[in-house]
Amino acid sequence: MAIPTPLPRPLILASTSIYRRELLERLRLPFSVVSPGVDETPHPGEPPVDLSLRLACAKARAVASLHPGSVVIGSDQVATIDGSPIGKPGSFDAALAQLQSMQGKDVMFHTALAIDDGVTVRTAVVDTRCRLRALTTRALTAYLHAETPYDTAGSAKAEALGIALMERIDSDDPTALIGLPLIATTRLLAQFGLDPLDHLSTGDAA
């Protein structure tokens, strides 16, 4: 069985999101988690894509400044309908209203990634377009009680039962919608000398 070998530099995920942590674990690289403590308030008139990228960079930079020599991953996601951002609902009523407003519409999720080692910053933004099915209030209520996705932008947890809300998903990276685009993450980590496939050991040859 392939196991990770020690990394030349510590890897840190600048996020306390369990979803991002679980995604990064797929790459089998040892990493630690540090809360970035960044103010996520949008700037007046700030476009959603710019907001997601600014926050991803701010998260990575905040943690990198406290951990010299480390490679830090920051990520942020902003969901929009017709160009207007929609946030995390926080409650059942807000989530239901959010999902009802999204029926039959395209929802765009801008997922930004920044990797910062204190010297160099590399970034990427992956867009995911989701079309939601037209569903009854009863179906939406059942979903919300089953999944309680109140900490998820757009209320649709596609990694779980939220996939049943979808008519289609269009993206270059299926993990971007969950919160961390692993294809882009792998590509950027390789530029910092942390390609996941370079840090696997298959053990002694037979």
99 falls within a domain: yes
Supply the pLDDT for residue 3. 59
149 falls within a domain: yes
151 falls within a domain: yes
The CATH number of residue 186's host domain is 3.90.950.10
**Region label for 126, one of left (φ > 0), alpha (ψ between -120 and 50) or beta (otherwise):** beta
Low-confidence ranges of the chain (pLDDT < 70): 1-5, 201-206
166 falls within a domain: yes
The H-assigned helical ranges of 8-121 are 18-25, 48-64, 92-102
Supply the pLDDT for residue 206. 42
Q: Is-contact 177 158, C-beta < 8 A? A: yes
Hey, which residues are catalytic here? 76
Q: Is-contact 77 109, C-beta < 8 A? A: yes
205 falls within a domain: no
206 falls within a domain: no
61 falls within a domain: yes
- What is the count of structural domains for the chain? 1
Query: Tens of pLDDT along 122-133?
Result: 999 999 999 998
Domain residue limits at 168: 3-192
User: What is the CB neighbour count within 10 angstroms for residue 189?
Assistant: 24
Q: Is-contact 47 110, C-beta < 8 A? A: no
Q: Is-contact 153 88, C-beta < 8 A? A: yes
132 falls within a domain: yes
Query: Tens of pLDDT along 115-160?
Result: 999 999 999 999 999 999 899 999 999 999 999 999 888 888 888 8
